[in-house]
A and B are shown apart, each in its own frame.
Chain A
């Protein structure tokens, strides 16, 4: 009945910390006629394999020893895009209901296999998943390319065919609608699914769409129900925590995240989320408790993250034990070469030395950052760095960094709060307000001036102003969007300038990377097409992969 030959050319990867299970799995796969099997004993070895080549099927044991598990491994692979949607990931567990958790579809394995199982069972499962991947191949490729509108259309075809993959297609369709920013359609779609059957993923999808649309109260209510019905649906806790935070209820957020940690005590994502909320609440003992666990669990594994060490170091300093921070950072720098150049770690090291009364050592750590100034940093890290300069008495350097942070995201209340907090500790809140207002004023004035010149017909001058600003503030979405549009207008009205046109397209890509749902993208795309038609420019080949 089964087509046994379909498996023989597939590439398998086995990850299990137990030697006996590894050889048993190898033998079972061999009995299916497959010879392309790579067997790994630990996450490190498996990740090296993934960096080298792609696999068709991954069989991963849930328990991997050394504080790591298969779920963490899968989340790591997905977050680094080391695994495509075309690869089958099967989690092997002793007890599914106890070990497995439900997360966003992105981080779910394709299937669970309960130990012990026979080679025949393995065969059935792999074949079934291969059939499914074949049916969903087009959709998966489109998803990997983030072409959401096309994903929706491709899902509609499968749903209309009413074959056995129709529910899989529904699940993907909902996600794609949200990713495409079509929230109202997503809400209506999920409600329609839920009317037939109270499926947990549909309920989560509904909450997700409501949240994306800004309907926090409705989203929270739906998530509350879902957590009662499906207590292992971890993504529900994550989203509920976020919704609480966004409505200013940090205590509620913390409660929800604590609940999630009880459901999944090994989840690094959850401990990190708790640390993040605690940090915002300046509850540094909780930051220490949460991140100490993460750092301990990931020490000497590829799941290790320098940001965890920096944030734990910061918590030590805030708790009045800067020497613990120094010791932690020294250990990191000794064991990992990359950490010696890390600006976040250097900033935390400088803050710790400042706190311990060693300004010369703080200055030395900061000098290291200046050497590596080109590393992209999140607003949190950048503000931390500015704080370190301020604490070290280098006021101009610190304030220049803060000014750039504000000008990059002039409308972000979170960034304003971060800057105010940093300057309240080292400087004054009044000075923070002045800096924020002044920095925003500069950007607004620049934008207004560009618009004025554009209206006065000086399109070239307007485009040049905005180009310079976008190069100085490459992450300010408004400036980058306006620069792209102004350059295109200039080209459209004053004739084709290849350099300007190329620059506009570069800004367009930059904007897409910053915010793929930016409202101005549609205008930019339309004007680009008009220009191509007007000047007979052929479209560049689409990006590969």
Chain B
């Protein structure tokens, strides 16, 4: 058995336990525990994806997807877990785009979960067609990313302060796997002045 097999099996067990925990929390209306269980499971998913990206065995399964479905689903899933307001802005969203729905969900969810920790009142999710790319944007009204993260985002270093770089590193790897006609996906972080996570995916 390879490490990947063992990891996947353990992951299956852990996620089952988290699922059971989430289910109990959901039925008694304990949204704090539910949020933690979902976040922990999402961490595990990213961990395995990161391992696979490093081992060169992370592949995309590109499909036609509706970007607003993803944002609507993330809003609906996360809104009951927080007192912050989560808003979807779909005014400039394309009807369909081509990407791996599971990998992209993993990245945008990570950005949402980050925003949930740092926003003051409001998180905005949007999908915007911009030239040859679709931009998924997650923005919040918090203090913004620390300078060292904004500076470090070109280095794609794996370990940043408090592990914040891990999610970014994975996002960059996954974005780059999305390619069409010579254009590759990318990730950009900025402060406007709250934190803005932007995932660009080629047409």
Interfacial residues, chain A to chain B (CB-CB below 8 A): 18, 20-21, 24, 27-28, 63, 94-99, 102, 112, 114-121, 123-125, 128, 163-164, 166-168, 197-200, 229-232
CB neighbours (8 Å) of A96 from chain B are 102
Interfacial residues, chain B to chain A (CB-CB below 8 A): 4, 8, 11-12, 15-16, 18-23, 26-27, 34, 37-38, 41, 45, 48-49, 52, 57-59, 61-64, 66, 69, 72-73, 76-77, 80, 95-96, 98, 102-103, 180, 203
B80/A118 in contact, CB under 8 A: yes
Minimal beta-carbon separation of A237 from chain B (angstroms): 15
CB neighbours (8 Å) of B64 from chain A are 167-168, 199
Say what secondary structure dominates the interface of chain B. helix
Residue of B nearest to A124 (CB): B73
Minimal beta-carbon separation of B157 from chain A (angstroms): 24
Contact for B20 among A24, A28, A232, CB less than 8 A: A24
CB neighbours (8 Å) of B77 from chain A are 117-118, 120-121, 124
Q: A116-B37, A120-B77 are in contact. Are A197 and B72 (CB under 8 A)?
A: no
Q: A18-B16, A116-B38, A231-B59 are in contact. Are A97 and B102 (CB under 8 A)?
A: yes
Q: A116-B41, A124-B76 are in contact. Are A167 and B22 (CB under 8 A)?
A: no
Please, how many angstroms separate the alpha-carbon atoms of A88 and B24 in the complex? 26
Minimal beta-carbon separation of A189 from chain B (angstroms): 16
Minimal beta-carbon separation of B24 from chain A (angstroms): 8
Minimal beta-carbon separation of A23 from chain B (angstroms): 8
A121/B73 in contact, CB under 8 A: yes
Minimal beta-carbon separation of A163 from chain B (angstroms): 8
Please, how many angstroms separate the alpha-carbon atoms of A123 and B76 in the complex? 10
Rank and list the top 6 A-B pairs by shortest CB-CB distance, nearest first.
A167-B64, A24-B23, A116-B19, A116-B22, A94-B15, A94-B12
Minimal beta-carbon separation of B134 from chain A (angstroms): 13
CB neighbours (8 Å) of B45 from chain A are 95, 114
A121/B76 in contact, CB under 8 A: yes
Please, how many angstroms separate the alpha-carbon atoms of A95 and B179 in the complex? 24
Contact for B72 among A94, A124, A163, CB less than 8 A: A124
CB neighbours (8 Å) of A97 from chain B are 48-49, 52, 58-59, 102-103
Q: A21-B16, A27-B27, A164-B95 are in contact. Are A120 and B59 (CB under 8 A)?
A: no
Please, how many angstroms separate the alpha-carbon atoms of A231 and B61 in the complex? 10
Residue of A nearest to B95 (CB): A164
A95/B48 in contact, CB under 8 A: yes
A112/B23 in contact, CB under 8 A: no
Q: A94-B11, A112-B102 are in contact. Are A118 and B22 (CB under 8 A)?
A: yes
Please, how many angstroms separate the alpha-carbon atoms of A117 and B69 in the complex? 16
CB neighbours (8 Å) of B34 from chain A are 118
Q: A24-B20, A28-B23 are in contact. Are A63 and B12 (CB under 8 A)?
A: yes
